[in-house]
Amino acid sequence: MTDGAPAALPPDPVQLADIAVELAGRAGALALRYQEAGLSVSSKSSVTDVVTDADRAVEDFLRTALAELRPADSVIGEEAGAAELTGAPVRWVLDPIDGTVNFVLGLPYFAVSIAAQVHGETVAGCVFNPASGELFRAAAGHGAFLGDRRLTGPRSVPLDEAVLTTGFNYDPARRARQGRVAGELLARVGNLRRLGSAALDLCTLAAGRVDLYYEGPLHEWDFAAGLLIATEAGVATSGLRGRPAGTHMVAGAHPERAEEFFGLLTELGVADIG
């Protein structure tokens, strides 16, 4: 910047959310075309951690589109890793298909997840389920929406009436420990759902379709957009033991139930599994 020149304005979260929405719709349509044509499936970290040719094609599409629209930005995605640029105004966090196992099996609970970060903070996000056509979006300070409906978070009900959703790790030993904790939780909450997409689980919480959520460890692309949508809907979130929600743990609840729920998770050792 030269002397006397005005400082560059920070990126507008609403405009970034609009980009995410537009690209998510096109990416979702591409994913469905691959699904209809027949998928090529392989595994990554374990036999249960699967990837398809659609995952890679969708991420390639998103990276190419972002390079055209915003060439100065950085990108990190599940399949191709990071393309970090020094001084980039925005960092995009991509999960081309969150819930790949559901996608492969034809279960209609998977999503394209796109988040935009400025100075390490997520300021815009979109989670799109191509199977249902539901599109969740948020821009920091502007609320969260499902289509045109503003989201206001989960119910405030006693834990023994609350419906909880969670997910399990691909590593068999860690998954076994998570299963034991989930079994203990079943005796303390109303019921449990395991739906298969962290991004959509957070949106489902934001929409009030479930009352509680926890999962960890996670990758940033699993939760970045969904976490913003949940917090913009008024969900209280935590990483447990005084930490903010992040890669180690993401937990969420109605603010009136958060302290009790987070305390229960800590008591049962959820924060120690990762």
Catalytic residue annotation: 78, 95, 97-98, 100, 222
User: Residue 224 has what DSSP assignment?
Assistant: H
Asked if 125 and 18 touch (Cβ cutoff 8 Å), the reply is no
Angle CA 242–164–197, to nearest 5: 90
Would you call 164 helix, strand, or coil by DSSP?
strand
Q: Strand 111-118: give its sheet, edge to edge.
A: 81-83, 74-77, 91-98, 111-118, 121-129, 134-139, 144-146, 149-150
Q: Which residues contact 210 (CB under 8 A, 6 or more apart)?
A: 154, 163, 164, 165, 193, 201, 204
